[in-house]
Copies of this chain bind each other. A is one copy, B any other.
Amino acid sequence: MATIKEVADKAGVSVGTVSHVITGSVPVSELLRQRVDDAIRVLDYHPNHVARSLKTSRTHTLGIIVPDMTISFYPQIIRGAETGARAKGYSLVAVNSLESPERQGELLSILRSQQVEGILIVVAESGTSGSQMERLESAGIPVVCLDRVPERITVDSVSVEDVAAAEMGTDHLLAMGYRRIAIVTGSLALRNERRRLQGYEQSLRRAGLVPSEDLIWQGNLRSEDLASMCRDRLSDPETRPDALICTNGPTALGALRGMYQCGLRTPDDLGFVTFDELTVDDLFSPAITTIVQPAYDIGFRASEILLDLIHNKGARHGVTNLRLPATLKVRESSRRNLRLVRPAEVVPLRASS
């Protein structure tokens, strides 16, 4: 790996001059610039970002921690964040916490050591100690939370408008004539899960229905657990709901599996709506009516906010909690009457912030 010194020697100038042409911070005569450029090309010189970072104490690197980028929601977020970062000359380091608070702690520590200038994070499901994030902040490393917003309100965040999104899904089921609607959630320790539940309840109440405890099915993010829970609760035709709304993808897959194991189908036996796309468009049946989160945008906007925080250290005016609207893709799984089948329609939701 050639160094700036070798380039300077080959071009017959000082390292200072080479640095000037690279950074463009100081004007250099056409002649020398040419000589330097040639030397760079010949030597296949690539500035040592590590040395530069040490000198300038700016790494131009952001970190992003997601639970598991194997879940399709997250790569979209990462892509959005990567795009936003690159637009400002930043790189993005993406890592997986696997929902483990310990691992998340390690990763945070590693990212700090790597001197990332800011961190985007979808916090691990349980036991994310605020203390670690507070230490980050006090070390001058801004943090923006995505998707899942921790209880303490002092951190910036970007997520979907959970309440309205769940309301929209529930409203839709009600409009289709379903009345006994159960909600299947992940852990209600997660604030956004609670908010989605809240949207569901609001929708029911507005329709004059009373949310019932035994139609609120709290699970976790593991498909198998969900499946067996749903199997149990769906087995009795007497108490069985006429529709299900799921608050996230893994939950929905578990619920569907449970349904199938009971020999039930959607939409014939049960209406079905879920957050997050389970399949590609409607190539497969049953095509599931879906509350689509703007994942890419969440990542993109979050990176913008983070970059802003980085460049305006100290001058922050309050906390930013951006909420983006979800979109409802109506498909077969919520159609009571199959005769009414039409092409999927998209219903945008009003924005809020």
Which residues of chain B have C-beta atoms less than 8 A from A94's C-beta? Answer: 94
Interface positions, chain A 61-100, Cβ under 8 Å from B, are 68-70, 72, 74-76, 78-79, 82, 91-96
Of the candidates B47, B49, B70, B135, which one forms a contact with A44 in the assembled complex, judged by CB atoms under 8 Å apart? B135
Would you call A51 an interface residue if the criterion is a C-beta within 8 Å of the partner chain's C-beta atoms? yes
Would you call A352 an interface residue if the criterion is a C-beta within 8 Å of the partner chain's C-beta atoms? no
Interface string of A259-292 (1 = CB under 8 A from B): 0100000000000000000111001111000000
Evaluate contact between B114 and A91: CB separation under 8 angstroms: yes
- The complex places the Cα of A72 from the Cα of B279 at a distance, in Å, of 12
Which residues of chain B have C-beta atoms less than 8 A from A130's C-beta? Answer: none
Which residues of chain B have C-beta atoms less than 8 A from A59's C-beta? Answer: 50
Which residues of chain B have C-beta atoms less than 8 A from A114's C-beta? Answer: 49-50, 91
Residue of B at shortest CB range from A108? B46
Which residues of chain B have C-beta atoms less than 8 A from A115's C-beta? Answer: 1, 48-50
Of the candidates B49, B96, B286, which one forms a contact with A82 in the assembled complex, judged by CB atoms under 8 Å apart? B96
Interface string of A105-119 (1 = CB under 8 A from B): 000011011110000
- The complex places the Cα of A284 from the Cα of B279 at a distance, in Å, of 8
Residue of B at shortest CB range from A113? B49
Would you call A54 an interface residue if the criterion is a C-beta within 8 Å of the partner chain's C-beta atoms? yes
Would you call A53 an interface residue if the criterion is a C-beta within 8 Å of the partner chain's C-beta atoms? yes
Residue of B at shortest CB range from A69? B75
- The complex places the Cα of A280 from the Cα of B223 at a distance, in Å, of 11
Would you call A139 an interface residue if the criterion is a C-beta within 8 Å of the partner chain's C-beta atoms? yes
- The complex places the Cα of A278 from the Cα of B286 at a distance, in Å, of 15
Report the 10 A-B pairs with minimum CB-CB distance, sorted nearest first. Answer: A284-B284, A49-B113, A46-B112, A69-B75, A50-B53, A49-B114, A70-B75, A46-B113, A279-B279, A50-B54
